Structure formats: structure tokens, C-alpha cells
Structure 1
């Protein structure tokens, strides 16, 4: 039989703790952007099963509101980095999850190749009544006997088995089911978990289960004799209790110090944090975005009764006049690295051919809604203007000045960009209609972008111009979009 506590168990145990705390804190930051949980992908306001906010919004509210109004600013003590930094929270979460999964894979491989699985995987149903009796022993303030020839008593063994081989894979599965790219490519997978909102709720409950385990685990280590337990899990059963306690507490202090430092650094140097974490996160997201295409199919019966909006319409007399005139004088300017620069009215846009698609919108905040969109395939626009070989990105310019419509220290007209390959997807359109009627002002009239394998912030609303460019370094702050510039979102938004 293998050693009860080999060195590889010690190392992976420490790494798991290290990565789990990062995942929990960054996950809380992601949750703060939409602190509500649903079982229904329509996300009807007021019908959430859990709400971690005092704010309430109704579908019939007389006062206009945006989903950004639902965002909370949580303390950096619990959220990483906290203070309304969804973009950086997602960066930390997606960077960490890759290393957490890798650590888990290494651990599982070693579990089976070394024979350690005998200590973790029950081989008989008697483990259940034995575990119940062990819990009863604890409740009588006594410590139950270990299983003969094994390091754990029955309740421990069953708990570790469920944690490693059930809860951890469950968290990975529910996390994947929140990816709009994965859901668009494999709609059946999302249905298994109740859609994105079902997966989001289950993922949160999994987080609570992990947190409860950690609290109980720490308590049981203390009950079992902290110095003695530290000798096993810190020094692999070798060395003195004083040394193990010192090394263990020093390791925990270093983890705490690391979290303090990265939280401070993330808030103090947000652009640098975005770039550094993007070195790991962006390639992963780009691979997913590029390799999977949408296979969503929804019917009119699936339309959401209420569809949230993100952001407020442009303000000013120019836009108000266009609205009052039903956008008859609106013109879309298309230029840049194209052979045939052009300016199109709404009527001329429609002549390029209109397609319809009923799809699910995935906001980066976490909410979803289903709607029918009709518009011109972006590929048809490309055929009209003929981009040159140097064109690598398409930039969409909007009419809304975010300094006026959002504030919070942010400024400038909204813009977004996508790589050329996304333009040829059959579900990438310039939407002109929504649910069988002209596009509403709050949803981006007269023209908005729809890309169904991307998060909602990539779907620029109130578009006034399109430019084909070789790169986006000289546009805005050079990150590829207003949200990327001002809120430090990732430019690849397929997850």
C-alpha cells in the first residue's frame, strides 16, 4: 500500500487551497455584476430565487433602468479585486481555473498510478452506514476509529470521494455550461443543467458546498489535533510537530499575503493586470471562440417576456431628431481598408438581404434572454465593400457618449471591434428588427450588431460607422473596444 501522505499529496493539497481561494474570490467578483440567481434563462425581474442586493427592479418600472444599475460594488476583502471590476475578476477566474484543473488532473493521475485510490474510493455500500455512525461518534464528542490499514475514518473517506470525484467535476461541468460559445455549439448540454441560469445557480451552490467543506475541514483538523495533522499534510508525516506547525502557518500567511498584494496590484495597476493575465486568458478564449460555431435553434414560443438592456441610449438633439424622424435621414458610413467605401441608408441596408434568427443573448454580467433578431448578414456588407487583404479587424462606432450615459469616471464614445473571421458567421448580422418590429431605441436602434457566440458587450448598439483596420492599437486606448479600454474586459469574449 502507498504512503498515507506522500509528498505529491502535500504539494497538490497546497496548490488546491491556493487556487480554490483565487477561484472563490474572483467568482464572487463575477457574481457581484449580477447578484441574482435564476432557474429560468428568461431572467424575469423580480422572479429570482436568490438576490444578494437591496436593489429591486421591475419589468413594468416607469423609470428606465439598465442591467448595469443592478451591479454591486463588493468589498475587496471578499471579492477579487472588488469594487465593480468585473473584467479583472473574470481574468483572475479564467486564468486560475486552468491551473486548478491541471492540478486536479495531475492529482487524479497520481491517485490511480500509485494505488492511492484505495484510500479515497469506497468499494462497498457499507461506507454509507459506517459514515453515519462516524458522524454520530463526532456528535458525542469522540473521534471515530480509522478504517483498518487506511488513513481516514469512513466519513472522511466518503467526503473526500464526493469532493474529488463528484463536486469538483460538477463545478467544471456547470462552469462550462455558462459559456455562450459552448451553449451555442452544444445546446443539448445546456438543457441538461437547466440552461445557463440553471448552471449558474448550480455553480453557486457548488461554491457554497466547497466553502462549507473548507470550514468543516479546518474545524476537524483542529479537533483531530492541529500539530499532529500538520505533520502529515505539511511534512508528509516526517519531522516534528513544532516544525510542521511553523511551516504550515507560514504557508497560510504567504497565501494571505499574496491575496493582499494581488488585490492591491489589481486595483492600483488595472491595465497592467489586464495585460498580464491576458497572456494566459486571451489565447484560451480565442481558441474556444474560433473553434466552435453556433447551433442554437429557438422558436417563437421561446421568446423572453422581458429582455433586459445594458446601457442607456445616446443623448442629444441629433439622436432625438433621428428618432423623431424614424431614422429616415440615418446613414451608415463604411470605410477603412476596403475597395468600395460606401454610405448606406436603412432602406439600402435592407436591400442587401435580411435574415432572421431567434437566439439567446448572453450578457457578460450573467443574465440571459431570448429574442428574434432580423437584419443584414455582415458577410453581405463585406461583399459590398470588399475588404482588402490588410484588413484584420472590423471596428463599429456608436453614437452614445458613455461620459454622459454612464459616468463613473468613464468617458468617450462607445466602440467595439471583432476579428474578421467572426464577420462570416451566419449569425453575425447588423440587426434592424427585434421580435417582428423595428429595433427599439433601448436595444440599439437604428442598427446594432449581433454575434451569437460572443458576450453581449461585443454587440455594439446605435452604430453610426464601420471601419476595417489592420489592428486596433491606435483606436481608443488600444484594447479593442470601449469596455476593454475602460472596464478592462477581455477582447475575446467567447466565454
Structure 2
């Protein structure tokens, strides 16, 4: 009687469909995405009113940390220039000078397609920003309440000893574009957990505190935090950095969805159903 080696005898089981995401999580995920898109677009609209960042309490116009400007080039036409510290970059067509809806180059920080609502409206930008900020906060509170009640935060996102040990391997898997198969694809890997926890407990509080600290009505309430970060302009800069990290997180998230299988991943976030493939069964034996 002979047996087939386990490495050869393990059989691929038929694909199966499981419920991966429950409906409250799916609903809050899409509400969060809509709010984030509106917040980024309206935030850039507000930023365009003065497209520069500083550190400290006051705006020192000669030495900004970041500035998007328009200068007259050698040909007499407007040229977009972005200053980052002491470095200067020609960003015509994207930052400083970009085409409007009619195709004409105009002076503006971020291009028209990246801002809402409308091409130039600071007042409307602020209204949109505040409205969707409150919607985002309410949605976030609902997410935290549901995550605690359903044990999603503890069971799915909490880092355990095993996760910390697997961080190096997870980094290598991402660098090699290796995606988990079978039942492993149903759980969050260590890098996913760290990214989600960082967004929930670091980036979100930072963007909320810096956003609130820019409001003159909250001077007395936020004075301690404003002093801690070095001034209102510092808070504005940190708010911009936090927004940029949110955008970066979203782009990486979308890239990972495309890499892992966009149809399957999107179906799981719309219907909740996820198709598990590549799962191995027990070893087969032959006599």
C-alpha cells in the first residue's frame, strides 16, 4: 500500500461563496466614501482661496512650507509654479495654472476638476465641507458603535501576537504582489489591520482636531491643542497633511482591490458575497 505525498495529494476544493461583509458595514463604507470625496473636493476649493501652507501662528508669506503660484513666463504666458520649502517646480497644467472648463488656462491652486462645488466659490466650498464633515462624523460614530456591538473591531481588526509575528511576511507578500488564497483571503492581514487602525484611531482624530481648531468660534475650547501644534497655521498644515494621507490610503486601497480581483472584491462590498477560490483540501491517499 502506497500513499501520495501530501504536497501532491492536496486537492483543490470547488470554489464556494460566503458572506464576507454584513450590510451595516457595506452601507457605512459607501457613505464614508461619498463623504470623503465631497470633503476632499470642497477642502481643495477652500484651500484654493489661499493656496499656501505655513507653520506657526501667522502666515509668513515669503517663506511658506508649500505654495502654488502663477508667474509670467518668458513667452508672456502664465506659468504654474509650486514651491516646496526652498525647491521650486514647474507645475503648469496641474498646480498654479490649469485649464478651466472652456479649455483656457487660469490661475488657481488645484485644477477645476479636483474641486467642488463649481470652479470658484469659497462660501459654497465651506458649506459643502461643513455639511459632509458632520455626515462623516455621524457615520463614523455609527461605525464605531456597530463595530463594538458586533465585535468587528475586536474579532476582525485587533492585532494579536500572531499578527505581529506575521508583519515581515506580510510586507514581503505585498512587495511580491502575492495575494492570499482560500480561507486566508477572508481575514485581514497584519498590514491591513495596521492601516485600518491607523486611519480610525490616528488620522481621523487628527483631521477632526485640526479642522475644529481652525474655527475662530472654538478658540477657547481648542486653545490648548492649537498651542500644542504651534499655532493655527500649523493646524491648517496638519489638516492638509492628514487629508493627503487619507487620499493616499484610498488610492492604495483601490489598487489592492484591483490586484486582488475587482469583480469579487466589489461584489463582496455591494452584496456581501465573496467567492473563495484556491482552497486546498486534505491529502488524498491511494492504495
Q: Distance in 2 between matches of 1:137 and 1:186?
A: 43
**Secondary structure, counterpart of 1:46 in structure 2:** coil
Correspondence for 1:157 among 190, 193, 204: 193
The superposition leaves residues 82-129 of structure 1 with CA deviations (integer Å, 9 ceiling, x where unpaired) of 4331111001000110001000000110000011112122244x6455
Residue 51 (1) aligns with residue 88 (2): no
**Secondary structure, counterpart of 1:52 in structure 2:** strand
Q: Which aligned pairs between 1:410-421 and structure 2 lie closer than 5 A?
A: none
Say whether the 8 Å CA contact 2:212–2:222 is kept in structure 1. no
Q: Distance in 2 between matches of 1:238 and 1:181?
A: 47
Correspondence for 1:8 among 14, 21, 24: 24
The superposition leaves residues 214-245 of structure 1 with CA deviations (integer Å, 9 ceiling, x where unpaired) of 11111100111111112211101179xxxxxx
Residue 188 (1) aligns with residue 224 (2): yes
C-alpha displacement of 1:188? 1.5
C-alpha displacement of 1:194? 2.0
C-alpha displacement of 1:205? 0.6
C-alpha displacement of 1:185? 4.2
Unmatched 5+ residue regions in structure 1?
57-70, 240-495
Matched residues, number: 222
Could you say which residue in structure 2 is the equivalent of 1:33? 49
Say whether the 8 Å CA contact 1:26–1:79 is kept in structure 2. yes
C-alpha displacement of 1:211? 0.7
Say whether the 8 Å CA contact 2:213–2:222 is kept in structure 1. no
Say whether the 8 Å CA contact 1:40–1:198 is kept in structure 2. yes
Structure with higher RCO (Cα < 8 A, 6+ apart): 2
Say whether the 8 Å CA contact 2:28–2:143 is kept in structure 1. yes
After TM superposition, where is structure 1 displaced by more than 6 Å over at least 4 residues in a row? 145-149
Could you say which residue in structure 2 is the equivalent of 1:107? 143
Say whether the 8 Å CA contact 1:73–1:82 is kept in structure 2. no
Residue 176 (1) aligns with residue 212 (2): yes
Correspondence for 2:267 among 221, 231, 243: 231
Q: Distance in 2 between matches of 1:89 and 1:80?
A: 7
Distance verdict in 2 for CA 1:185–1:105, change over 3 Å: closer
Say whether the 8 Å CA contact 1:73–1:83 is kept in structure 2. no
Q: Distance in 2 between matches of 1:238 and 1:217?
A: 17
Distance verdict in 2 for CA 1:172–1:166, change over 3 Å: same
- After superposing the two structures, state which structure 1 stretch, 154-163 or 141-150, moved more: 141-150
C-alpha displacement of 1:193? 2.1
Distance verdict in 2 for CA 1:137–1:35, change over 3 Å: same
Correspondence for 2:258 among 199, 222, 231: 222
Q: Distance in 2 between matches of 1:237 and 1:122?
A: 25
| Rg larger for | 1
C-alpha displacement of 1:192? 1.8
Q: Which aligned pairs between 1:352-391 and structure 2 lie closer than 5 A?
A: none
C-alpha displacement of 1:178? 1.0
Distance verdict in 2 for CA 1:52–1:206, change over 3 Å: same
Q: Distance in 2 between matches of 1:138 and 1:43?
A: 41
Q: Distance in 2 between matches of 1:195 and 1:132?
A: 39
Unmatched 5+ residue regions in structure 2?
1-18, 72-80, 82-106, 276-287
Q: Distance in 2 between matches of 1:147 and 1:196?
A: 48
Say whether the 8 Å CA contact 1:174–1:202 is kept in structure 2. yes
Distance verdict in 2 for CA 1:146–1:174, change over 3 Å: farther
TM-score calculated relative to the size of structure 2: 0.71
> Which structure has more helix as a fraction of its residues?
2
Q: Distance in 1 between matches of 2:66 and 2:165?
A: 34
